[in-house]
Structure 1
Amino acid sequence: MSTANLTRLRSVYRNILRELPPRPLLASPPAPLHKRIRDNFREMPSDSSTAVAHAEEFLNYLRAQRTYVQLIERYNPSIDMDEEERVRLTARRVGMDLPPEFMSDKSGK
């Protein structure tokens, strides 16, 4: 494997690891996904230009997934709310308040 190709491969490997969720402690054993990625990079053939291209495609996929999740969280802030809170905020968005009989005891009103 040429040194330029090896350098490129290491760069892609590091970037892939940066895109994955971080491990809680470096002393903890690596996750199965980390092991699998490391094993795949170790077993690459000597003429790995196609393998590097596939690894770069995987890196682009991981980046796109991270961006997608960020956009979902930004433009759908009510995705992790319960139904009652979502209804209340939807009513507020159009300038209305829910009647008192629909308010729960949790809201304190």
Structure 2
Amino acid sequence: MASSPANLRSLYRSLLRELPPRPILASPRTPIHNRIRSSFTETSNSSSPSLHDAEHQAQLAHQAVTYLRAQRMYVTLVERYNPGMEMPQDERIRLTARRVGMDLPAAKAKKEEK
């Protein structure tokens, strides 16, 4: 049985791990935390949930965990292999030129400001 209480608890914790952390645990839950919690409590507390519905909900939760984990890994890899994404265009060009052994001349506007 894939939707046992232990498995549902594990899926719930996995979903919470993939969400951005709350700064202080004493702070109120975010709407997404409340929605996830309510969907899991409805599944486990319903008087006679059909086995098919419970299995379907467990599969959807597992897919959500897999998707969120993949998205987190994607963001990590993009940040790691594209370090200049957050830099301004001028700085990116200067660093690219330095990578091949060239130094760009200083811009006139910067000289005039000083």
Same-fold call, TM cutoff 0.5: yes
Deviating 4+ runs (over 4 angstroms): none
Correspondence for 2:6: 7
Correspondence for 1:81: 87
Distance 1:41 1:54 in 2: 12
Q: Give the secondary-structure state (helix, strand or coil) at the position aligned to 2:5.
A: helix
Distance 2:86 2:97 in 1: 18
Distance 1:7 1:86 in 2: 50
Indicate if the aligned counterparts of 1:5 and 1:49 stay in contact, CA closer than 8 A.
no
CA gap 1:100/1:43 in 2 versus in 1, 3 angstroms: same
Distance 1:5 1:102 in 2: 69
Q: Give the secondary-structure state (helix, strand or coil) at the position aligned to 2:22.
A: coil
Q: Give the secondary-structure state (helix, strand or coil) at the position aligned to 2:97.
A: helix
Match of residue 59, structure 1, among 62, 65, 89:
65
Distance 1:97 1:27 in 2: 52
Shift, 1:101, TM fit: 3.3
Aligned letter for 1:59?
A: V
Structure 1 gap ranges (5+): none
CA RMSD of aligned residues (A): 2.2
Shift, 1:4, TM fit: 6.4
Distance 2:29 2:5 in 1: 23
Give the TM-score normalised by structure 2.
0.82
Give the TM-score normalised by structure 1.
0.85
Indicate if the aligned counterparts of 1:88 and 1:97 stay in contact, CA closer than 8 A.
yes
Correspondence for 1:27: 26
